[in-house]
């Protein structure tokens, strides 16, 4: 499932990165990244779990930092 851009139909308009509150499983970071880059949320979550298994400390620090620093947004 691909998301549509929220603000414009023009693909050149950048969209800010934010946590997706509506499609979240834990904090909404993976859903927000998927929305921003127009990917499937499931694919982003699978990559995040694979990275968590491969390099757990770095992935955990990046995920926690993103969950604390990114603003929440209702899409």
The pLDDT assigned to 16 comes to 85
* Distant-in-sequence, close-in-space partners of 39: CB < 8 Å, separation ≥ 6: 2, 33
- pLDDT tens across the length of the chain (75 residues): 555 555 445 555 457 899 988 988 999 999 999 999 999 999 999 999 999 999 999 999 999 999 999 998 876
Q: Which residues, 6 or more positions from 48, have their beta carbon under 8 angstroms from its beta carbon?
A: 30, 59, 63
Distance CA 23, CA 20 (A): 6
Q: Is the Cβ–Cβ distance between 20 and 10 less than 8 Å?
A: no
pTM: 0.75
Q: In sequence order, which ranges of 1-75 are alpha helices (DSSP H)?
A: 29-37, 41-54, 56-69
């Amino acid at each position: 499932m691909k998301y549509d851009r929220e603000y414009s139909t023009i693909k050149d308009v950048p969209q800010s990165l934010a946590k997706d509150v509506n499609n979240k499983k834990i904090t909404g970071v993976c859903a927000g990244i998927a929305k921003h880059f127009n990917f499937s949320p499931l694919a982003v979550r699978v990559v995040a779990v694979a990275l968590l298994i491969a390099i757990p400390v770095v992935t955990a620090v990046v995920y926690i930092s993103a969950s604390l620093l990114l603003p929440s947004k209702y899409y």
